[in-house]
Amino acid sequence: MPEPRAFSFRLGEELAAAFAKHRVEYLFIGKAGAIFYGFPDTTQDADVFPLKSPDNGRHIAAALRELGFSVDERLEAELIRGKDFVQVREGPFDVDLIFAPDGIETFEGAKQRSTLVDGRFPVASLDDIIKSKKAANRAKDRESLPRLEAFLQYLREKPDVSST
């Protein structure tokens, strides 16, 4: 199998299209989510916060298979039961499915605060992305937090060009 590709907007398009086709309920989170807002950084994987339900887990498995991921019985069972953290590495790119992200209490609450970027990418709010990274408190998250916070501040202060 070829070496997985780093996450990119184009891969996000592929993932979003497959998830839409299979009716997956999810939000992009992490740096992958921030990239959809225009955050100028890179990440090696797509971080996804899916709704935790057996049906959604089955939909995720079907979408991943369609994209060329190897989804065996063990992985499908983890998706159906909504295991807190599922890394999918056997496919065209790396996906982290985080059914219980640090710092975000419920999928429903995060969905209410989310944005549909470009009409097709459901993305957690930048506030939730930052809150989750703070709660996770991993070294790589602590390193990127100042840039994410500065980016959020930039977006809040940026003049709305559509109103001029």
Proportion of the chain above pLDDT 90, given as a percent: 82
The whole domain housing 72 covers 9-156
Residue 106 lies in a domain: yes
Give the residue among 94, 120, 99, 107 at the shortest CA–CA distance from 31.
Answer: 94
User: In terms of pLDDT, which residue wins out, 160 or 145?
Assistant: 145
CATH number at residue 144: 3.30.460.40
| Mean pLDDT confidence for 3-24 | 88
β pairing state of 121-123 and 115-117: antiparallel
Number of domains in the chain: 1
The residues near 6 (Cβ < 8 Å, ≥ 6 apart) are: 42, 43, 44, 93
CB atoms within 10 A of CB 102: 16
Is pLDDT above 80 for 25?
Answer: yes
Mean pLDDT of 9-38: 95
Please, which residues bridge with residue 58 across strands?
none
Looking at every residue in the chain, the average pLDDT score rounds to 92
Distance CA 93, CA 109 (A): 28
The average pLDDT across 128-134 equals 97
- Over residues 36-80, the pLDDT tens digits come to 999 998 888 999 999 999 999 999 999 999 999 999 999 999 999
Does residue 4 form part of some domain?
A: no
Question: Could you tell me if 25 and 52 are in contact, meaning their C-beta atoms sit under 8 angstroms apart?
Answer: no
